Amino acid sequence: MMTISLQYVQRRKNHYRYRRKVPLALRDALGGQVEIVIPLGTTEADVVRRWPKAHKDAEKRLAEAVRAAERPKGRVTPPALLTPLERYKRANEHLVGLGLDMTWTPGGEDPEDIAREVIAEDIARKYREDDEGHPQDVTEADRALLRALTLGAAQKPPEATLEDARKFYLGEKVEGTHDEVKKTQRIDRAMALVREALGRDPAVAKLTRADAREVRDTMLDKGLEPSTVHRMLNDVRAVINLAIKELPLPGVTNPFLGLEVKKDATASKKDERHPFNPDQLKRTRERVLGHASEDLQLIWRMLEGTGARLSEVAGLLVSDVFTDHKHPHINLVFHPHRRLKNTGSIRKVPLVGDALAAAQRALETAQDGFLFPGYAKTRARRDAASAALMKHVRKITDDEKVTVHSLRHNMKDRLRVAGVEAETADAILGHSSGKVGDRYGGDEARLEVAFRAMQKAFV
């Protein structure tokens, strides 16, 4: 029984922890986290020593969540980065705000003409004039405003470019999603390669099949894997399809439709990695458990016993690990410090046998709410864990197709040999099948099925 009284301290069996619920309004900002849980040690002296830091850390994380929740969702694009179409739209919005008639066309001498002329002269007055009285070094924003003032409804809007299509796609399909940063980076990379290949920001309506082939060939010439090129072209197609449909661009066809990457260049993914053979696995495990740091040993044991990705295990929070549950498991969800590959990767993975023992030991040594604090917080640290484990793998085998990731293939084979249904195996490994039925049913029922399957695999 504790003789001290500190807020948010909870005793569990032979250890103490700092446990604090996250307010509902802040959970999205913390990646869906329901609680902040930080180990405090096994004695009251440990609690007294570690509680101030744990409390400070929790307060900091909640304060950051408050700021993130209050931050405006919209993004302001600097004028210099606007496309001609965006400048055209902003100029017209400005004129609407001034109360001008947007159906006006030049050619008269009415009050509308006079008002537009006065506003245009006021804008031009900001700039120095040449010998003929023309303003010099006018900004693109003011140039668009002057065109809107002098041409009115007679001005034709600029054509939508690929940059307009990119921004529209991100706004409609990406912003506000759980993996917004990752998706944005992927789309931006593909669009940057299109501009590099074509040497311009092309109008969507003027893209040709020859342009599409040039983009594909440039990507391949840069040494990108054909599978990567195939994925990038899918992204380009999606961006252009949405622009054609919604901007809209009637009568325009997407020149990237049906564009293929050569079949001999799109190698099957199943050839990218091989599972460890029994001897390799035995010797590599012995090597890791005999030479690696304790955290890396525990990570290896959990990888081998769950089939999870290294980043998924290395990035776990203490609150993601449920060793006292009826069906012990790790709960893989999105976190600000560690994203998942896709929504199909959100899952509960059973812990049985040695993986369960490793998770229990990791909980005893966890700090600051992270199961593996030395590797969890950034992608660079998780990559370091992968590199460190790979050094041990290479001491056993120089087969380039055998890597740490091969443990997922070993788990797939183990489940297959145990007679586990493909749907259950995919759920354990985080392979989204895309079937509608995968979205139905309760979490606990799915966990129970997966747990029985894992027990069967490790008999």
Q: Taking a C-beta distance cutoff of 8 angstroms, is the pair 402, 273 a contact?
A: yes
Domain residue extents for the chain: 9-62, 84-154, 162-267, 278-457
* DSSP 8-state symbol, 91: H
pLDDT at residue 1 in the model? 47
Yes or no: is domain 278-457 CATH 1.10.443.10? yes
Provide the 10 A C-beta neighbour count for residue 308.
26
The DSSP code sequence of 12-73 is ETTEEEEEEEPPGGGTGGGTT--EEEEEEESSHHHHHHHHHHHHHHHHHHHHHHHHHHHS-S
pLDDT, tens digit (0-9, with 9 covering 90-100), for 177-209: 888 888 999 999 999 999 988 888 999 999 999
pLDDT, tens digit (0-9, with 9 covering 90-100), for 144-178: 989 999 999 999 999 999 999 999 999 999 988 88
pLDDT, tens digit (0-9, with 9 covering 90-100), for 392-404: 999 999 998 999 9
Residue 322 sits at φ, ψ, to 5 deg, of -125, 85
* DSSP 8-state symbol, 139: -
Confidence (pTM): 0.49
Segment 322-335 mean pLDDT: 93
Is pLDDT above 60 for 439? Answer: no
State the CATH class of domain 162-267: mainly alpha
pLDDT, tens digit (0-9, with 9 covering 90-100), for 209-230: 999 999 998 888 888 888 899 9
pLDDT, tens digit (0-9, with 9 covering 90-100), for 245-302: 998 899 999 999 999 887 544 444 444 679 999 999 999 999 999 999 999 999 999 9
